[in-house]
A and B are shown apart, each in its own frame.
Chain A
Amino acid sequence: DVKVTQSSRYLVKRTGEKVFLECVQDMDHENMFWYRQDPGLGLRLIYFSYDVKMKEKGDIPEGYSVSREKKERFSLILESASTNQTSMYLCASSPFTRAPYNEQFFGPGTRLTVL
């Protein structure tokens, strides 16, 4: 069973703080993704990674950065948190194969509140 874990379920930070959200998967997946989920907007892709030390911007990368130093771990960083980054953050992973698409497996989410 694929397991994707996220470091916190709930997090409260202050404006201007640097915030780290951690994601770990235990299935040796190559691909990892960070999304934010907002009511009425669905899930939007922030960043993704196809390999260690590799990253690509998604649809809404502004204000975020990522780090992938090990295959199983993908970190999302808010350099200077702002109130408009209050959201639910979801991490996902998927294997890399030659199939047209590989199912993404999601973590439980981190609900971040920036005051």
Chain B
Amino acid sequence: AQSVSQHNHHVILSEAASLELGCNYSYGGTVNLFWYVQYPGQHLQLLLKYFSGDPLVKGIKGFEAEFIKSKFSFNLRKPSVQWSDTAEYFCAVTAGYGNKLVFGAGTILRVKS
């Protein structure tokens, strides 16, 4: 069965610091990878996704993620965080042509102003 690991459950950063959230998955075949974000009091929404092609994908609000197949990783990055990036971030995977998402445990990011 597929599984997704997110390395940090809580991350605290100061504004303008760089962000990298780790995500590793376990599945040997073709995968589709996602990062979702849940801002306080808001719906879960898609931040970015990878299906194929360029392993560096760009999402909304200046976020990007890099797919490294050999490491089974899909880490989320942002060069300079803002207070408004305070949220919970979820990595998720689905295999092949499935529509079933498997989520990681989530990382709560708090950005101090």
Q: Which residues of A contact B (CB under 8 A)?
A: 4, 31, 35, 40-45, 48, 50, 58, 90, 92, 94, 96, 100-104, 106-109
Contacts and interface: CB of A to CB of B under 8 A. Distances in A.
A48 B9 CA distance: 27
A42 B51 contact: no
B96 A108 contact: no
Contacts of B24: none
B49 A48 contact: no
A106 B32 contact: no
Given A100-B32, A100-B51, 14 more contacts: A40-B106, A42-B105, A43-B90, A43-B101, A50-B99, A90-B44, A92-B44, A96-B99, A100-B97, A101-B32, A102-B99, A103-B46, A104-B99, A108-B42
B94 interface: yes
Nearest to A90: B44
Contacts, number: 54
A88 to B, nearest CB: 10
Contacts of B98: 101
Given A40-B9, A101-B94, A31 B99 contact: yes
B100 interface: yes
B35 interface: no
Interface size class, chain B: 20 to 34
Contacts of A101: 32, 49, 51, 94, 97-99
Closest 9 CB pairs of A and B: A42-B103, A106-B44, A43-B103, A42-B105, A101-B32, A42-B106, A106-B43, A42-B104, A103-B46
Nearest to B32: A101
Given A42-B90, A42-B106, A103 B49 contact: yes
A106 B39 CA distance: 13
Nearest to B45: A106
27 contacts: A4-B43, A31-B99, A40-B105, A40-B106, A41-B105, A42-B4, A42-B6, A42-B90, A42-B106, A43-B90, A43-B92, A43-B101, A44-B103, A45-B102, A48-B99, A90-B44, A96-B99, A100-B32, A100-B97, A101-B32, A101-B49, A101-B51, A101-B98, A103-B49, A106-B45, A108-B42, A108-B43
